[in-house]
Amino acid sequence: MRSWKALLAATLMLALAACGGGGTAEEPADDAPAAEGSEAAPSEAAGGEGASDVRAAMVTDVGGLGDNSFNDSAYAGLQRAEEELGISIEVLESGAPTDYVNNLTQLAESGFSPVFAVGFLMTDAVNEVAPQFPETQFALIDSVAEATNVANLLFEEQQGSYLAGVVAGLMTQQDTEFTTAEAATVGFLGGQESPLIRKFEAGYAAGVQSVCPDCQILVEYAGTTPEAFNDPARGQEIAIAQNDQGADIIYHASGATGNGLFEAATDRGFFAIGVDSDQAAIVPDAPILTSMLKRVDNAVFASVEAALEGSFPAGETITYGLEDEGVDLAEFGEFSDIVPQEVVDAVEEARTGIVDGTVEVPTEPAA
């Protein structure tokens, strides 16, 4: 009798847990009706025959929607495609790395195409799933997969980071409410140590050095696993430690870990530089000087558009840089009064140099 009850209790707990776990993979409630709506009444903007047949979908990496970062950016691109091109969209969130294959498979089986895999963490999953669905178009962001039905969308993060470095290197030499001229130290907070995030570091360091050869650049990564993108407490400690060592501007490429940087910057009054989206708009109470923009949304939108026109770049690798506004630097916003004109000019000069090729930006940090 006792053991029967025990078994029942344990089973119930596990069942309950399984329900909870499934929750993270559900779509946000509000886009179900929107998707149906656009199927029922294809928008005029779609303009062509068969446009309404396109159903695009994306799978987030473990950062998930609400990361204020590139998952949100990719979703924004999809939403724009839904509004302007009249397609239906779907998004599946991944609670754990083990969800990647399931989510991609589920979307491909349901007939979605193109299916966007957002983030280099999903490379293996795409390599596994894409060959099983040769009719489905996949797009992998930030990495390169082998299958011929995958479009690989890369970004020149080092170029945008270089501009962020120029700003940091010049501003740390200024006396402002947030920076002191004598410190001349800047920081970099990385998420998972990986070739992708090292591109951010390399460009940033090169940018700082181009305008401030004597500046000290403190570099710290939050970890070596994907969890390093999701640890604000650790991000905060790293930011505090760098600030203790004199860094008064810290640039991050660390997903949700960067929220810890913003808290430290708010509390202690130093500048943070955001990443991927214009984070000053998302976290308005933090002193975010600017953000390195990675326009995943534009890349996603362009790919959907290409799919509609029948020119989806399957099997190709497309790299978005400063030239085509795939990466950029956000406006200074509320701090535009503090930033001197010479900084704005230096950024423009660097931008021109990178675009015309006279400035070469490294993709690996100097040893």
User: Cα–Cα distance between 73 and 157 in angstroms, integer?
Assistant: 15
Q: 192, 235 in Cβ contact below 8 A?
A: no
Binding mask 306-345 for another protein (x = CB under 8 A): ----------------------------------------
How far is residue 251's CA from residue 289's CA, in Å, rounded to a whole number? Answer: 10
Q: Which is nearer to another protein, 20 or 50 (CB)?
A: 20
Examine residue 241 and tell whether it contacts another protein (CB under 8 A).
Answer: yes
Amino acid at 288: I
> Binding string, 166-195, against another protein, x = CB under 8 A?
--------------x------------x--
Residue 9's Cβ-side half-sphere holds a number of Cα atoms within 13 Å equal to 6
The Cα 249–Cα 266 span in angstroms is: 12
User: Of 34, 101, 144, 218, which lies in the binding site for another protein, with binding defined by CB under 8 A?
Assistant: 218
The stretch among 142-150, 163-171, 220-228, 311-319 that binds another protein (CB under 8 A) is 220-228
Q: How far is the CB of 281 from another protein (least distance, A)?
A: 14
| Piece in contact with another protein (CB under 8 A), picked from 16-24, 100-108, 198-206, 339-347 | 16-24
Which residues, in sequence order, are bridge partners of residue 216?
185
Q: Does 32 bind another protein (CB under 8 A)?
A: no
Structural element, H or E, at residue 242: helix 232-244
220 scored as a contact of another protein (CB under 8 A): yes
Place of tokens 């030499």: 173
Q: Give the strand pairing for 55-59 and 115-118.
A: parallel
- In the complex, least distance from residue 240 CB atom to another protein, rounded to whole angstroms: 7
Which of residues 52, 61, 64, 141 is near another protein by CB under 8 A? 64
From residue 78 to residue 117, what is the string marking binding to another protein with x (rule CB under 8 A)?
A: ---------------x-x----------------------
Residue with tokens 């390599």: 127
Assess contact for 215 and 167: CB atoms under 8 A: no
366 binds another protein (CB under 8 A): no
In the list 59, 87, 264, 289, the residue contacting another protein (rule: CB under 8 A) is 264
Q: Is the dihedral of CA 59, 62, 63, 66 positive or negative?
A: positive
At 282, which helix (H) or strand (E)? helix 279-282
State which H helix or E strand residue 165 sits in.
Answer: helix 157-171
User: Should residue 26 be labelled a site residue for another protein when binding is judged by CB under 8 A?
Assistant: yes
Query: Does residue 266 touch another protein according to CB under 8 A?
Result: yes
Nearest approach, Cβ of residue 57 and another protein (Å): 17
Q: Which residues contact 19 (CB under 8 A, 6 or more apart)?
A: none
Binding residue (CB under 8 A) for another protein from 236, 277, 279, 303: 236
Q: What 3-state DSSP class applies to 217?
A: strand
Q: Is 234 in the site for another protein (CB under 8 A)?
A: yes
Measure the CA–CA gap between 163 and 204, rounded to whole angstroms. 7
Task: Determine which residue in the list 246, 313, 333, 353 makes contact with another protein, applying CB under 8 A.
Answer: 246
Among 175, 214, 244, 337, binds another protein (CB under 8 A): 244
Check residue 198 and report its DSSP letter. Answer: H
Q: What is the distance, to the nearest Å, from the Cα of residue 321 to the centroid of all Cα atoms in its chain?
A: 15
d(CA 366, CA 40): 55
What residues line the site for another protein (CB under 8 A)? 2-3, 5-10, 13-14, 16-24, 26, 28-29, 63-68, 71-72, 93, 95, 180, 193, 218-221, 223-225, 227, 230-234, 236-238, 240-241, 243-244, 246, 256, 259, 263-264, 266-269, 283, 285
